[in-house]
Amino acid sequence: MKQQIATFIAARPSPPAWKVRFELAHSPQPGMYVLADLGETVRTPLFPTSIDESGFDTIVPPGHPATRLLPGTQVDVLGPQGHGFEVDANRLLLIADVEHLPLLIPLLDRAASVAVIVEAMTRLQLPSPTIFPPNVELIMVTLDGSLGYLGPLESLDPAAMGFVRASSVLKELLICAEQVCLALHAVRYPDLAAIVYKTRLNPQSNFAQAIIHCPMPCGAGVCDICNITTKLGEKHVCIDGPVFNLLHLHKESENQQPPQKLDA
């Protein structure tokens, strides 16, 4: 496990969170992380939201220990760690809820054509369109229907009069995309994997990649806290992920069903 010294540069509000800047010789790539010793009882995983040759930015919630550091503080970090996103596509689809969107931000410039689906409870929680590059196709989804398409993304229930289900546009974008990267609560991935199976008859192995964000105190596959069950058996998010093939997170019972086309 690689050990490095990061230098804390600054933390500034980026409502509703904080943006924190570290200088680091070897920064994590999108989906990977470093385990930082921020003076807590266990190390804290930090995921990059932007990466350059001198370091990386990360987004953290208010009150996070990184926001209390003084500029110039030397921070002991382990990593880069884990298995990140592998993007090699001209048409990339990114899918996130507003909570996990920062995990996909470093992918916004990784393809010639990028579409982003962002889901929030209500319009006031959606990010400003100005944080996205102007060439990104932005699709907003709200659970209360206050803006954009009606969520949740995986719902195939008929929408009430005047609303359009997000799953309809999701199907169209999945057909067009060469790759899709997701950042959502892990419990939602099996239903979205089922939609991918029904929309794409033979998706390639890295077509859909999903990041799992969970506590990772040891980062070494030792404590078992990040253990999950996948189609390929028991895995540790910290060393086998955090990015997994979405289709390996598919429900076992649905894996055995023949693929069906999603109803229009």
**For ligand FES, which residue of 145, 169, 221, 230 counts as binding (CB under 6 A)?**
221
Cβ of residue 210: shortest distance to ligand FES, in angstroms? 17
**For ligand FES, which residue of 55, 79, 203, 219 counts as binding (CB under 6 A)?**
219
Residue 41 binds to ligand FES (criterion: CB under 6 A): no
Residue 226 binds to ligand FES (criterion: CB under 6 A): yes
Residue 100 binds to ligand FES (criterion: CB under 6 A): no
Cβ of residue 234: shortest distance to ligand FES, in angstroms? 11
Cβ of residue 92: shortest distance to ligand FES, in angstroms? 28
Q: Cα separations (Å) of 194 from 74, 246, 257? A: 45, 10, 10
Minimum CB distance to ligand FES smaller for 152 or for 241: 241
**For ligand FES, which residue of 17, 121, 143, 225 counts as binding (CB under 6 A)?**
225
Residues lying near ligand FES in the complex (CB under 6 A): 216-219, 221-226, 236, 238
